[in-house]
A and B are shown apart, each in its own frame.
Chain A
Amino acid sequence: MGRAPSPFATKIPYEEKNLKIVGTNPTARGDAVDKVTGRARYASDIKLPGQLIGRVLRSPHARANILSIDTSAAEALPGVKAVVTRDDFPDMAIEHAASGELMVNFRDVTRNMMARENVLYDGHPVAAVAATSDAIAKQALKLIKVDYEVLPHVIDVRDAMKPDAPILHEDQFTKGVEPKPTKPSNIAARLESKLGDIEKGFAEAEIIIEREFNTKPVHQGYIEPQASIANYTEGGLAEVWTGTQGHFVFRAQIAKLLEMDLSKVKVIPTELGGGFGGKNNVYLEPLAVMLSKKGKRPVKMVMDRDEVFRATGPTSGTNVKVKMGCTKAGRITAAQAELNYQSGAYAGSSLPLATITVFTRYDLENVSVVGHDVTTNRPKVAAYRAPGAPMVAFGVETVVDELAEACGIDPIDFRLLNAAKEGTQTHFGPKLGPIGYIQTLERAKAHAHMKEKLGPDQGRGIATGFWFTLGAETSATVNIGEDGTATLIFGTVDVTGGSRSAFAMIVAEELGIPYEKVRTMSGDTSALGFNFMTAGSRGTAAGSMAAVTATRKAIARMCEIAARKWEVEPDQVVWEDGMARPAGANVGDFAPMSVAELAKEAAWFGGTIAGHAEINVAQGGPGFGTHIVDVEVDRRTGAVKVLRYTLIQDAGKAVYPEFIEGQFQGGAVQGIGTALNEEYIYNDKGVLENAGFLDYRIPVASDVPFINTEIVEVPNPDHPYGIRGIGEVPIIPPLPAIANAIYDAIGIRMRDHPMSPPKVLKALKDKMIEDAAAQGTAAE
């Protein structure tokens, strides 16, 4: 993620105390009634008077040079008010910035938004139009003539790494290789991370397992397609309503791409219909702004479902090699991995994050991780819930299983023998603080799930996962109204709907007032200081740090009002149970003042009551989880059915327990979908064949059982309420847990993702042939 931790970052120590509100499940959730009545407003629900409808023309080729673009016929079509192409957007120099958990390079961001010299994937935007109706906009697209020179393309990461592969970028030389290479490559970067002495580690190993794994890209699959409405005023200001996980980052990107001052761009985040990392990048927004500028009317753009699959960002497809060694007693002595991650058309995959998570569940002395970030003719990858981690967990957690089996040790016990704990040195730098990994393993071992009997062709697998919690810039404001109610303006986009209730609980707890007296509101970019993307599981964790900081400032102001009224020093006033009180009997016999009473007097005593925070929250509080899954395999068709699922994860402190359970369950089911059926399928022309929910198969309600969940609480020492990020860990273990369960059921190790029926059936048949041959040999 490219940034060293700042010494000025905010940590607020955990305070063990009796909580009245935090940790309960609020009866009134800020967003829920509007959502169940259909009144909640998502981006595509917004309509501006006089708006035009915008649509994007996309490349039908996986790779081609653009020789010319002729938009004249489209521009002449009655009802068309604006057309944009590469000519309407400035070129960008190389410049890196964080966009959620991945880094972006503006030179590439502008090209991904609108192709310039060439198109690099099926779906790559080439032009956009705005017209008075959707039908006319679609017609206009058909009238745009693009002259392509189709070129050879490459889809698979292993193919792209070969020396004779078609090269996407003539100016891309592998970074991280000395001396600097002279030939361009699809390998954009090489990363290395080491600890100890890997050769020594393997020399000490009595058992060594080396395996190779391949995974296909998967998509976040949010049900709400991207949608944006932009209004470029005659005065040169742009307002953009859009579904985003980070409106301040989007503002920065829009301003940069269009060469506008930040202060002239306002981004309003709408209620989000799912993101999971996929809405960390601009796609339509700059196009809508430019179309609005040219068309002199607001422009609304909504992606079709096939555009979402073709042209937003799935995860990386990967090739992962894992080699691990251990003693017969079960201690891991060496852990090595090679991660080959494709980034899509432009460099910058989740490789650095994968590198961090590879082995971080284990206490190791000798580690070597090498990774390659590889460009291929697919859409530029975006983050997807624990980006990079499930793929590498597929490798490591199944190899760990094999080691355990070779040692004759139960897989949970094997992990306990090697478990990361407080003080464990990671291979990427820091030592781990207090963590709950061991607790999740122990609770898994003791869980009732482990006692369920398995029948024929049924198997059980376990796997574990780790993810960190991002901190980053977070700003919030608390305003106390004249009636004593509080409003929190928050700037970390509430991507799930639960964070705002968590914030309200925390503000209510801090103030000592009822939960119902706190209202939360999402602030747009004009309302608050910068807030980083809701990514890295930071939404509630970091957002609440800013909420606490802002609330405590408001409390200080209220104490100041009381002090002025009572004519005492500010440090002689304390805040307790929702009231300003004299710090001791010696201060004077003053009646405590409630929030409402203080608010009434605030103006006289200096001004209204508010507190604001603009902090950079320190990264911290990593989360760990252990999953148990039971599957049944139909040996005649290769179909894998999930029978039972249990998930145990450390949440730090559970602010809103039922919501946390829901996050656990949702992440686990996404992981199940990844494991069994989700994948991007390309034809030999590099065109995506399954760009819809019919053939991009996410789990339906009848595909999955109830997901049992348990919350472990090892408070995050750097957060006042002990909160850890929890959103991403749940999606990591399902893929390897299911692979381990399939092995337990039918004795076959699947290393090729997804573990779909044709693959499982083929593996079964291959094994039958192998077994028959072996028997034949044995008989001879």
Chain B
Amino acid sequence: MAKQYITTTINDDHVEILCDPTQTLLDVLRDELDMTGTKEGCGTGDCGACSVTMDGVLVCSCLVLGIEANGKKIETIEGMAKGEELHPLQRKFIDHVALQCGICTPGLLIASKALLEENPDPTEEEIRYWLAGNLCRCTGYHKIIEAVEDAAAEMRGN
């Protein structure tokens, strides 16, 4: 199986990779680029732990081939904070204790960020349904919803 050369932008960095056609974007991020912030919980798109955005669209990176990232703009958890400054969602997750073991947290943050970019003032129900693709086993989702509501309010300038 010949590897294919692809170029992509990940968190504003230009990246070049030699990638096997069978590798998913998740495999490429974790195994080729050592960007282990994006997690594998199931490999089949059922848990959301591998969430990234691709050209601004929220996707499961385990359901995208690495090759398909060619020419695209990928954003992962590693790009969410800007230098020393955490994104409001990251801060609110910490403030509200919206994470315990933390394995689902990167995926949830990426998914929540995508939500607030599309809908800056979501209702509780809208948040829950948007985040239904991200499984969490530790928190029961309660403090996650509160954190997202609080971050949304701050980002709206309330």
Could you tell me which A residues sit within 8 Å of B by CB distance?
Answer: 25, 29, 31-33, 35-42, 44-45, 47, 135, 220-225, 271-276, 302, 304-305, 495-498, 658-659, 661-663, 665-670, 692-694, 698-702, 704, 706-707
Say whether A273 contacts B103, CB under 8 Å.
yes
Give residues of chain B (74-105) contacting chain A, Cβ–Cβ below 8 Å: 76-78, 80-81, 86, 90, 93-94, 96-97, 99-105
Say whether B105 contacts A701, CB under 8 Å.
no
Interface residues on B, range: 35 or more
CA distance A32 to B98 in the complex (A): 10
Say whether B94 contacts A701, CB under 8 Å.
no
CA distance A37 to B38 in the complex (A): 10
Say whether B78 contacts A38, CB under 8 Å.
yes
Q: Which residues of A contact B78 (CB under 8 A)?
A: 37-38
Q: Which residues of A contact B132 (CB under 8 A)?
A: 700-702
CA distance A321 to B122 in the complex (A): 48
A704 to chain B, nearest CB (A): 6
Does B43 sit within 8 A of A, measured CB to CB? yes
Say whether chain B's binding surface is mostly helix, strand, loop, or mixed. loop
Q: Which residues of A contact B101 (CB under 8 A)?
A: 222-224, 271-275, 495-497
Contact of A701 among B46, B134, B138 (CB under 8 A): B134
Could you tell me which B residues sit within 8 Å of A by CB distance?
Answer: 20, 22, 30, 34-44, 46-47, 49, 76-78, 80-81, 86, 90, 93-94, 96-97, 99-106, 109, 124-125, 127-129, 131-145
- A662/B143 contact (C-beta < 8 A), A37-B81, A47-B34, A495-B101 known: yes
Contact of B141 among A38, A135, A693, A704 (CB under 8 A): A704
CA distance A271 to B103 in the complex (A): 9
Q: Which partner residue on chain A sits nearest B47 by CB separation?
A: A693
Q: List 10 A-B contacts (CB under 8 A).
A: A36-B106, A38-B38, A223-B47, A497-B102, A663-B100, A693-B41, A694-B46, A701-B127, A702-B125, A706-B142
B6 to chain A, nearest CB (A): 18
B158 to chain A, nearest CB (A): 20
> What are the 10 A-B residue pairs with the smallest beta carbon separation, nearest first?
A38-B37, A273-B103, A35-B102, A669-B140, A665-B140, A38-B77, A45-B36, A693-B46, A305-B42, A702-B128
Q: Which residues of A contact B90 (CB under 8 A)?
A: 36-37
Q: Which residues of B contact A32 (CB under 8 A)?
A: 93-94, 99, 102
Q: Which partner residue on chain A sits nearest B97 by CB separation?
A: A658
Say whether chain A's binding surface is mostly helix, strand, loop, or mixed. loop
Say whether B42 contacts A37, CB under 8 Å.
no
A293 to chain B, nearest CB (A): 24
Q: Which residues of A contact B30 (CB under 8 A)?
A: 44-45
Q: Which residues of A contact B102 (CB under 8 A)?
A: 31-32, 35-36, 40, 271, 273, 497
Q: Which residues of B contact A663 (CB under 8 A)?
A: 100
Contact of B109 among A36, A271, A302, A668 (CB under 8 A): A36
Contact of B142 among A33, A40, A693, A707 (CB under 8 A): A707
Say whether A222 contacts B135, CB under 8 Å.
no
Say whether B131 contacts A41, CB under 8 Å.
no
A247 to chain B, nearest CB (A): 16
CA distance A666 to B129 in the complex (A): 18
Say whether A33 contacts B94, CB under 8 Å.
yes
Point out which of A220, A659, A699 has the most chain B C-beta atoms below 10 A from its C-beta. A699
Say whether A692 contacts B44, CB under 8 Å.
yes
Q: Which residues of A contact B134 (CB under 8 A)?
A: 701
